[in-house]
Amino acid sequence: MDRSSAGPGDGLLTPPEMSVSMDFHTDCDAGNVLAMFIQSMALVGGSQYVANFTAVYRDLLESYPEALTVLAEDWVWEKAHRPAPGRTVLRQFRRPIIAIENGRPQIHFARAFLLANNNHEDDVKASEPLSKTRPDALEALTRSANIHAVRLDQQVGDMVFINNFGVLHAREQFVDSPTDPARRRHILRLQLHDTEFGWPSAQTLKRSLQEQFAYAPSKHGLLTATEWMQLPRANRTYAYGVDGYESHD
């Protein structure tokens, strides 16, 4: 289990908190910087990989330009918003996966949020049917990201900073030690938005950053790691403006 976002009083685990592998994605509706502190590593596996989307974009431009056209179209998304503990609101909206901003390709992508690609039959019926090219475009994107993947050589104590608008990240499956806490994967993750040096968000991608970062000073504060881990995830969202459910690593 990845304890980077788990806490007391939580319900079912989400994929980021489980030991399963995670395909290439970005943290959606998050800032332009993903920061991670490697507190401890798994007994086996758990390596993280990154892929520069500019390299992926150039690859697709040469080998499959139709995929870029499809990825730049509006897709149906669905995300769960939790404005308060015990309350969940499902939102559906349309936006593309890729865009160009200041001459640089940007990507905003997590397959789980693309409604027409969910495994739930009711969701698929409620959404527009996928054209034949859309699954192909997603497969081409994932395939190219794997070709350009770089494994991060991480050690305990490392700090990792990723350009969340221009770099995809993925994680392999892992196994924790049943007896040694020092060999249980524990990644502390923080989503940042650097308005001075970070990339501005492409407007056509319609990232929703207000819910993450537009908080009144009365809600600002610092917690110790122990205090943070004692908070149920739903309370983190309500009291501190941090969504502990939909984060990825």
What pLDDT sits at residue 217? Answer: 64
* For range 139-158, the mean pLDDT: 96
What pLDDT sits at residue 168? Answer: 98
Task: Answer yes or no: is 165 within a domain.
Answer: yes
Q: What is the pLDDT of residues 73-117, one digit of tens each?
A: 999 998 877 766 677 778 888 999 999 999 999 999 999 888 655
Based on the structure, what is the number of domains in the chain? 1
Domain range for 86 is 26-230
Query: Which residues have CB under 8 Å from 214's CB, separation 6+?
Result: none
Q: What are residue 227's phi and psi, to 5 degrees? A: -65, -40
* For range 131-144, the mean pLDDT: 90
What pLDDT sits at residue 209? Answer: 79
What pLDDT sits at residue 28? Answer: 92
Q: Are 164 and 88 in contact (CB under 8 A)?
A: no
pLDDT of 204 strictly over 90: yes
Task: Answer yes or no: is 105 within a domain.
Answer: yes
| Strand, coil or helix: 120 | coil
Task: Answer yes or no: is 90 within a domain.
Answer: yes
pLDDT of 160 strictly over 90: yes
What pLDDT sits at residue 220? Answer: 65
CATH number of the domain enclosing 36? 3.60.130.10
What pLDDT sits at residue 47? Answer: 94
What pLDDT sits at residue 131? Answer: 63
Task: Answer yes or no: is 7 within a domain.
Answer: no
* For range 38-66, the mean pLDDT: 96
pLDDT of 245 strictly over 70: no
Task: Answer yes or no: is 244 within a domain.
Answer: no
Higher local confidence (pLDDT), 233 or 205: 205
At 25, list the tokens.
């994605």
What pLDDT sits at residue 12? Answer: 53
Element at 23 (helix H, strand E)? strand 22-25
Q: What is the pLDDT of residues 216-235, one digit of tens each?
A: 666 667 777 777 777 765 55
What pLDDT sits at residue 5? Answer: 39
What pLDDT sits at residue 244? Answer: 37
At 195, list the tokens.
């308005």
pLDDT of 118 strictly over 90: no
Q: What are residue 20's phi and psi, to 5 degrees? A: -75, 160
Higher local confidence (pLDDT), 119 or 191: 191
Residue 48 pLDDT grade (very low, low, confident, very high; cuts 50, 70, 90): very high
* For range 157-162, the mean pLDDT: 96
What pLDDT sits at residue 79? Answer: 81
Q: What is the mean pLDDT of the chain?
A: 81
What pLDDT sits at residue 74? Answer: 94
Task: Answer yes or no: is 175 within a domain.
Answer: yes
40-70 as b/e: b if 16+ CB within 10 A: bbbbeebbbbbbbbebbbebbeeebeebbeb
Task: Answer yes or no: is 92 within a domain.
Answer: yes
Task: Answer yes or no: is 86 within a domain.
Answer: yes
